[in-house]
A = this chain, B = another copy of it.
Amino acid sequence: MFEDRANKRTELSELGEFGLINHLTKDVFINHPETIRGIGDDAAVIEPSGKQMLVTCDLLVEGVHFDLTYTPLKHLGYKAAVVNISDIAAMNGIPKQLVIGIAVSNRFSVEAIDEIYAGIMLACERYKVDLVGGDTTSSRSGLFISVTAIGEAEPDKVVYRNTAKENNLVCVTGDLGGAYAGLLLLEREKKTYEANPEMQPELEGYDYALERQLKPEARMDVVLKLREAGIVPTAMIDISDGLASEILHICNDSKMGAVIYEEKIPIDAVVAGIAEEFHIEPVVAALNGGEDYELLFTVDINDFEKISAIPGISIIGHITEEATGVNMMSNSGSLITIRAQGWDHYRNTEE
């Protein structure tokens, strides 16, 4: 998992900007008839099909969002695409197109950028998304990836984060804290490796958490299952900054409160084990660890039976009036006020 750099090294200057764009985009395949024109003109052209369009953008910055000492470039490309597709999923939409901007220093070879693109293309294939444009340029130092994802949904299917109602059920997909547990492991291995490069990484049995960190998935499968079941969530957000931060977004934006139950928060046994190894309460990893890219959503209480019938969705609490605040009922029976303790990149940077 730690070594996927190709051995051949072609300097970026050998291809130049246009040469590089041609090289990277020669195999791009278009899935959707709505994509009238992809890469190769001043702008991509999209024929909307009478639905509303969803547009989202994320920047991924080396040293802030990823560490190349343990992130394979192909995984990085895949993750860059997926985190944006996850934002489309969080609007209850179907992702359709991606626009990618990459800025790299000449520390990177053409083969390195090929790896990033291979990951992006893999995500495009997996999620049936068309890569329709972008920009490839140089940076003075480091790697920057900007991804814009475009999706669509019928107007009555778009789900915002500010529309949760009192007594709605609070639901979460999959399990939480895994990506953070994976990050803890990778950071520990990095330190061990820096101290003694002869040391082999001790990552056996940890695959699940590592994959959660390095190769997350967007829960489009859940979006489709909800449609099949005839459920339109009342509010939805994806969990990029931890459950605490996201439930606060939904409640604050909806002017509501909530109670969630610690015992209902889904945590994988491997993840709980890793958290304990690092002397962290597993629930803290779920609440404050980021990057799980699961969906947090609310549904009308009348959808209880339908939602219970879908595997992989946990009902973890309910929406209350605003005045009661946002709280967690702990396993010991005490009510704990939830505060956001997600990532705050600005506290970590230095020039």
Interface secondary structure of A, over-half rule: mixed
The answer to whether B346 and A155 have CB atoms under 8 Å apart is no
* Interface residues in A91-148 (C-beta closer than 8 Å to B): 91, 93, 97, 99-103, 105-107, 132-135, 137-142, 144, 146, 148
The answer to whether A17 and B140 have CB atoms under 8 Å apart is no
* Interface residues in A1-21 (C-beta closer than 8 Å to B): 12-13, 15-18, 20
What are 13 pairs between A and B in contact, CB < 8 Å? A16-B347, A17-B345, A36-B158, A45-B53, A55-B97, A55-B150, A58-B101, A59-B144, A61-B139, A65-B137, A138-B348, A140-B141, A144-B146
Q: Specify how many copies of this chain sit in the oligomer.
A: 2
Question: Which of A16, A44, A52, A138 has the largest number of chain B CB atoms within 10 A?
Answer: A138
**Does residue A255 face the partner (Cβ distance < 8 Å to B)?**
no
Question: Which of A59, A141, A158 has the largest number of chain B CB atoms within 10 A?
Answer: A59
Please count how many residues in chain A sit with their CB below 8 Å of the partner chain's CB atoms: 82
Residues of the B chain whose Cβ atoms lie less than 8 Å from the Cβ of A44: 54-56
Closest Cβ–Cβ distance, residue A246 to chain B (whole Å): 10
Instruction: List residues of A whose CB falls within 8 A of some B CB.
Output: 12-13, 15-18, 20, 36-37, 40-48, 50-59, 61-65, 87-88, 90-91, 93, 97, 99-103, 105-107, 132-135, 137-142, 144, 146, 148-151, 155, 158, 160-162, 236-238, 253, 340, 343-351
The answer to whether B142 and A59 have CB atoms under 8 Å apart is no
Given A105-B349, A106-B349, answer yes or no on A140-B61 (Cβ-Cβ < 8 Å): yes
Closest Cβ–Cβ distance, residue A256 to chain B (whole Å): 16
